[in-house]
Amino acid sequence: AQTVTQSQPEMSVQEAETVTLSCTYDTSESDYYLFWYKQPPSRQMILVIRQEAYKQQNATENRFSVNFQKAAKSFSLKISDSQLGDAAMYFCAYRSRRGGGADGLTFGKGTHLIIQP
Amino acid sequence: GAVVSQHPSWVICKSGTSVKIECRSLDFQATTMFWYRQFPKQSLMLMATSNEGSKATYEQGVEKDKFLINHASLTLSTLTVTSAHPEDSSFYICSARTGLGSNQPQHFGDGTRLSIL
């Protein structure tokens, strides 16, 4: 079974600064997906960024980028130029690529990101 | 596009009653739907995976007879919490995936807050 670990229950950053959220995972599979989801107080799950394990290039989406280290099984999220609207719970998630319907998401425990004005 | 609607968004009921939660894909056909449970300030835990027209696959530790899942059409899956008790109070979120391949993204509903008195 796969596990996802987020070791930072809470992080705080000044507005306009950069913050990095950590995530490590454990799997015996070689092909999979990794995600970062944002969950604001409304509890809607919002996809922030996605990484395919076979791609060496780190994914980027505007102010959001990841540092994917496959050998180390590490997948951190960097948020640049933090904005007040970035305040939320952030979940790291793993998804197998095996298919056959066995691709539900495994989530980490989440990091509560606080943006200080 | 790719909108998933979940209904109801909040339900309060007495202990011992059964509660049905609907998850609908509004603008795509969802061959696979997933049900997650989230306790307050905790992560999402996969409960079960349902494929249209077949029985749901439950995760270890999830009671099949307590949480009945039906995926009778390509746009609707239902989760019925039978004989609900206070410990079943939680936030339930569904997600839906189109296509047969595991590379298709999952789209989340807005969740249902279930409170059992």
List pLDDT tens digits, range A42-90: 999 999 999 999 998 999 999 999 999 999 999 999 999 999 999 999 9
How much is the pLDDT for A99? 65
How much is the pLDDT for B53? 81
Whole-angstrom distance, CA of residue A69 vs CA of residue A56: 9
pLDDT band at B31 (very low <50, low <70, confident <90, very high): confident
> From A40, which residue of chain B is nearest by alpha-carbon distance?
B110
Q: Do A45 and B95 touch (CB under 8 A)?
A: yes
- pLDDT at residue B44 above 70? yes
Q: Do A103 and B102 touch (CB under 8 A)?
A: yes
Length of chain A: 117
Pair B35, B51: CB distance under 8 Å: no
For B77-92, how does the pLDDT look when each residue is reduced to its tens digit (9 = 90+)?
999 999 999 999 999 9
Name every chain B residue with its beta carbon within 8 A of the beta carbon of A111. none
Q: Do B110 and A42 touch (CB under 8 A)?
A: yes
Name every chain A residue with its beta carbon within 8 A of the beta carbon of B57. 101-102
Pairing of strands B112-116, B57-58: unpaired
Cβ neighbours for B62, distance < 8 A, ≥ 6 positions apart = B47, B48
As given in the structure block, the two tokens for residue A38 are 């944002």
Q: Do A105 and B44 touch (CB under 8 A)?
A: yes
Name every chain B residue with its beta carbon within 8 A of the beta carbon of A96. 102
pLDDT band at B100 (very low <50, low <70, confident <90, very high): low
Give the closest residue to A92 by CA, choosing from A67, A116, A71, A114.
Answer: A67
Of A50, A91, A97, the CB nearest to B43: A91
